[in-house]
Amino acid sequence: MDEKKVMLSGIQPSGDLHLGNYLGAIRNWAARAEEYDCYYFMADMHTITVRQNPADLRRRTLEQLAQYIACGLDPEKNTLFIQSHVPQHAELGWVLNCYTMFGELSRMTQFKDKSAKHKDNINGGLFTYPSLMAADILLYQPDFVPVGEDQKQHVELTRNIVQRFNGIYGEVFKMPEPFIPKTGARVMGLTTPDSKMSKSIPEGCVFLMEKPEDIQRKFKRAVTDSDTENPVRYDPAGKPGVANLMNIYAAVTGRSFDEIEAEFAGQGYGKFKPAVGEAVIETLRPIREEAARILADKAYLEGVYKAGAEKASYVANRTLRKVYKKVGFVAR
């Protein structure tokens, strides 16, 4: 039997997953476990490059973990853990700091963006976190790292570090490949159909844990247009708000645009918008209920992240021991 290829993904615990995250990505993740050996971690160590409220960070880390399980990431089939529970991340992060060039770090666009946003707190971690990110990846010797456009630069840097390190010490790290995931529906904001759904615009963003009545209210207020002739038809350029609602409806019901047009022929937005809201509510209901159930079962959740950290530590330690030996540290 061929060994499964390894895939790894770290997620900052912002806690509030929304419909765009779910339909665009998370929904497809459950199926990955059949093909790959998957590691998913809550990147709480990365989060503190920006000041956090400690109680909120703890709560959001556990909420996010519960929501991922509720979305179909089975802890029996995926390794789910919290980054700070696996000390090898910080240990390898330090070593890789010493193999990452100052010039490489200063070219990182995210450092420039975040420094501009947090002028009062341009800390060393904000500058060197790509080295920690390289450690996150390389500890598990993954074949693939799923990345969006904004993270490609970090995987490129990780590959530079691998080349440099392996060039000095031989084949220590496997060269990871960026994996561009198949995207699901591209979900735009309900109030801003020209830009992606984002939690920074909460009134146009549907959160997975939101109450059904709040979701329905947001759909009823979704931006459409004043077309009364033939309102529900797919025209992304001319009718971006309607096209977005049709995209969402298609993604949660499996219906084609033609079927949706036929279903709402001769009906106005007063019928269409609540119907989309209702379909979304029914799609998210089992996720919300399951996540709430998991969060209430503290012993279960603790069992998941403890078992995940144990497995992750075991794998990470093999890599770290090899690295420590290569750089000349005395064996523990």
Active site residues: 114, 196, 199
Q: CA distances (Å), 319 to each of 37, 92, 214, in order?
A: 17, 9, 47
Degrees, nearest 5: CA angle 302-308-313: 125
Q: CA distances (Å), 51 to each of 14, 47, 57, 219, 314, in order?
A: 13, 8, 10, 34, 31
Residues in a beta bridge with 317: none
Sign of torsion, CA 323 10 1 304? positive
Q: Write out the H or E segment, with its range, that includes residue 129.
A: helix 124-138
Q: CA distances (Å), 280 to each of 13, 69, 211, 243, 287, in order?
A: 24, 19, 12, 16, 11
Cβ atoms within 10 Å of 122's Cβ, excluding its own: 13
Closest CA to 123 of 41, 46, 44: 46
Closest CA to 93 of 139, 61, 47: 139
Residues in a beta bridge with 226: none
Separation of alpha carbons 101 and 132, rounded Å: 14
